[in-house]
Structure 1
Amino acid sequence: MISEPVSTIRQRQNQDPSVDPKQGPGQASPRENYTNSGDSSSLLARRLAYYHELDEWQQDNHYIRSGYVKGTSSYWESFKSLGYLHNETVNIYSHLLPSSISFWVILYYINFQLTIYDNYLGIWEKLNFVQFGLACTFCMFMSSVFHTLKSHSHKVSKFGNQLDYFGIVILITCSLISIILFAYYDEPLEKWIFVALTLFFGTVCTVFTLHPEFSKNHYRPFRSTMFILFGLSGALPIVYGIYKFGVETTSERAGVKWLILEGVFYISGAVLYAARFPERLTHVEEEEHSLLLNPQAGKFDIIGHSHQIFHVFVVIAAYCHWLALVQCYHYLHQHILA
């Protein structure tokens, strides 16, 4: 049976004291009263489901109890979910909106705002910014598409999940390479060694990402750990830079303060995602009346659960990386090439 989010049921109960979750046999359930009523939001109610009402292939995070779009078997029906609130809405728009504007903002910046120095090295410098912008766009667009279409079917959801993870690999790979190309411009051997290592690690992650077992629920901690370690591989050029140039110079060369902040957001988001925090704090049993009687039940179902926090942190981390990349560009021209 399809139902509305827990918060909606509680609000309806507060308005209608005749609806009692402890009613006896033969009486209509709160959901039945609501769905059969003339309430203008009943259409929304019929679109959403509880976790225990989902098919097994849709069951991922049992700490999120309500607000699900049940399997549609229709691309059109899945796309229509963009127009109403459910527990994937924030996941979708937190990446759909940035993916729609990030590339164009970067394109505008490098053509109209970026300082072009007398020792400008050519179009590849702008292309280095562009490849990072494309990676951000691809990653976040694949993410938003996946979260929109994951209600379609098991096959579509599984394929979309692989694209989502692949987008993460692309973003990490391009992010690391973009810094290396600027920060190690005057050290060609080290530059290409670090680029090759990044591509190797990215390839390994891609192989795991495209493996059919990788997207299963029990691999969630492994997925988070893999992406964290891949991101932390970006510390190798930094550590080597400290050895060769010293702490202060390396910090300026590579925009280290921004990279550290970027890492904090990426890792924090991944850890929260793997731990399913904070929604695990409000976990209750599946049965609807248990949800209604627990004042905390469903608190993070629609807004505030771990995946949404991870999405927001990814956007913030990408912006921190952009600031690091701009700093690398200016240091290259003001110091390395001066």
Structure 2
Amino acid sequence: MLSLKLPRLLSMEQVPQVFHEQGILFGYRHPQSSATACLLSLFQMTNETLNIWTHLLPFWFFSWRFVSTLQVTDILHDSYSWPLLVYMGASCLFPLASSCAHTFSSMSRNARHICYFLDYGAVNLFSLGCAIAYSAYVFPDTLVSTTFHDYYLTLAVLNTIISIWLSCYSRFFEIQKPGLCKMLRVLAFAFPYTWDSLPILFRVFLFAGESAENEATLYHQKHVAVTLLASFFYSAHLPERLAPGRFDYIGHSHQLFHVCVILATHMQMEAILLDKTLRKEWLLTHGRPLLFAQIAGAMLLCLIFSLSNIAYFSAALYRIPEPELHKKET
């Protein structure tokens, strides 16, 4: 019979510091794993296995939802649905990028950084996709077609450009200043999310009465609550920080963060679909639908700046001497 030899796992002391995760003592893959070994690790219980599967399986679910929506949409003539399609496409991209980043991040030090640069780029494209959908379907009645609404998407593009730069830049402090690294990365994602969510926050807290009959509001509330929970797990490193070694494989904070992110995205998608359907007549009468040039231009700008930043910071990894970038590993 054919036997499959899975890669040997290592303890925290056996891998360079750049691979260390707070509170995770064992289950690390070899820091110079081959691509084949990385793929095999999907079927081996490591400290990354559930990080991969908690985004890989939702990728297929969101892809099914996306394809199902495409099949019932007249893409060429139904311009009202274009923002939804952009959002749903971005919803497929970010879990796929995340699962790939976690899968191949153990190939080398630089490969680890580059994998997460790409992950951050996908997250920022998703953030912009959310802003496009919110601009089209979610704005409270009172703010539709106001100056704030007119400039909302432009500033969302600017935020994503700043976010991808800041999140990639933060990785250069991972060893020397881990606290600063974490603060910059949280800020890089928190600010665009807060800006994107302003229409929801205004609708829930300031203009709740005008949309009380809209059942999408409840999904929006749940989405915000679960997103805050995800942020807590990402920042706090609980429960593994309180019991190092006990949650190496199952139950550590990054897995819980992934689960919360997927649940929040599902609730967000349901809310956007409801808003798109229930508010269609009113929005088409009182709003200014997004043009193809606006949607395509925003996504293209974000994509160009994201890829440019990823290329720049990836090249910088090879320009900076390794001892300077990882000087605390010895």
Q: TM-score, normalised by structure 2?
A: 0.74
> Within 2, Cα distance between the matches of 1:213 and 1:98?
27
- Structure 2 equivalent of residue 138 of structure 1: 93
> Within 1, Cα distance between the matches of 2:199 and 2:23?
39
1:309 paired to 2:256: yes
- Structure 2 equivalent of residue 173 of structure 1: 128
- Structure 2 equivalent of residue 25 of structure 1: none
- Structure 2 equivalent of residue 56 of structure 1: 17
> Within 1, Cα distance between the matches of 2:31 and 2:204?
52
> Within 2, Cα distance between the matches of 1:242 and 1:276?
30
How far does residue 242 in structure 1 lie from its aligned partner after superposition? 7.5
| Number of residue equivalences | 276
8 Å CA contact 1:181, 1:191 repeated in 2? no
> Within 1, Cα distance between the matches of 2:71 and 2:148?
30
> Within 2, Cα distance between the matches of 1:337 and 1:57?
52
Q: TM-score, normalised by structure 1?
A: 0.72
1:275 paired to 2:236: yes
- Structure 1 equivalent of residue 311 of structure 2: none
> Within 1, Cα distance between the matches of 2:173 and 2:77?
42
- Root-mean-square deviation (CA, aligned residues, Å) is 3.0
SS at match of 2:242: helix
Which structure is higher in RCO with an 8 Å CA cutoff and minimum separation 6? 2
Aligned counterpart in structure 2 of residue 191 of structure 1, from 130, 143, 149: 149
8 Å CA contact 1:255, 1:328 repeated in 2? yes
Letter in 1 for 2:238: F
8 Å CA contact 2:87, 2:133 repeated in 1? yes
How far does residue 123 in structure 1 lie from its aligned partner after superposition? 2.1
> Within 1, Cα distance between the matches of 2:215 and 2:192?
18
- Structure 1 equivalent of residue 57 of structure 2: 97
Against the structure 1 CA distance between its residues 107 and 99, is the aligned structure 2 distance closer, same or farther, given a 3 Å change threshold?
same
- Structure 1 equivalent of residue 183 of structure 2: 221
Against the structure 1 CA distance between its residues 324 and 242, is the aligned structure 2 distance closer, same or farther, given a 3 Å change threshold?
closer
1:124 paired to 2:79: yes
Against the structure 1 CA distance between its residues 206 and 93, is the aligned structure 2 distance closer, same or farther, given a 3 Å change threshold?
same
8 Å CA contact 1:251, 1:257 repeated in 2? no
Against the structure 1 CA distance between its residues 121 and 52, is the aligned structure 2 distance closer, same or farther, given a 3 Å change threshold?
same
Against the structure 1 CA distance between its residues 134 and 214, is the aligned structure 2 distance closer, same or farther, given a 3 Å change threshold?
farther
How far does residue 259 in structure 1 lie from its aligned partner after superposition? 2.2
1:83 paired to 2:43: yes
- What residue ranges of structure 2 are gaps of 5+ in the alignment? 286-330
How far does residue 78 in structure 1 lie from its aligned partner after superposition? 1.5
How far does residue 170 in structure 1 lie from its aligned partner after superposition? 1.7
How far does residue 57 in structure 1 lie from its aligned partner after superposition? 2.6
- Structure 1 equivalent of residue 118 of structure 2: 163
- Structure 2 equivalent of residue 256 of structure 1: 217
Against the structure 1 CA distance between its residues 259 and 162, is the aligned structure 2 distance closer, same or farther, given a 3 Å change threshold?
same
> Within 2, Cα distance between the matches of 1:74 and 1:261?
41
Against the structure 1 CA distance between its residues 158 and 86, is the aligned structure 2 distance closer, same or farther, given a 3 Å change threshold?
same
8 Å CA contact 1:228, 1:267 repeated in 2? no
How far does residue 87 in structure 1 lie from its aligned partner after superposition? 0.9
How far does residue 83 in structure 1 lie from its aligned partner after superposition? 2.2
Aligned counterpart in structure 2 of residue 208 of structure 1, from 166, 178, 185: 166
Larger of the two Rg values belongs to structure:
1
1:231 paired to 2:197: no
> Within 2, Cα distance between the matches of 1:92 and 1:238?
30
How far does residue 200 in structure 1 lie from its aligned partner after superposition? 1.5
How far does residue 207 in structure 1 lie from its aligned partner after superposition? 1.6
How far does residue 190 in structure 1 lie from its aligned partner after superposition? 4.0
How far does residue 240 in structure 1 lie from its aligned partner after superposition? 5.4
- Structure 2 equivalent of residue 148 of structure 1: 103
> Within 1, Cα distance between the matches of 2:216 and 2:173?
34
8 Å CA contact 2:166, 2:188 repeated in 1? no
Against the structure 1 CA distance between its residues 52 and 251, is the aligned structure 2 distance closer, same or farther, given a 3 Å change threshold?
farther
> Within 1, Cα distance between the matches of 2:76 and 2:38?
47
SS at match of 1:93: helix
- Structure 2 equivalent of residue 72 of structure 1: 32
- What residue ranges of structure 1 are gaps of 5+ in the alignment? 1-39, 284-297
8 Å CA contact 2:134, 2:196 repeated in 1? no
Letter in 2 for 1:304: G
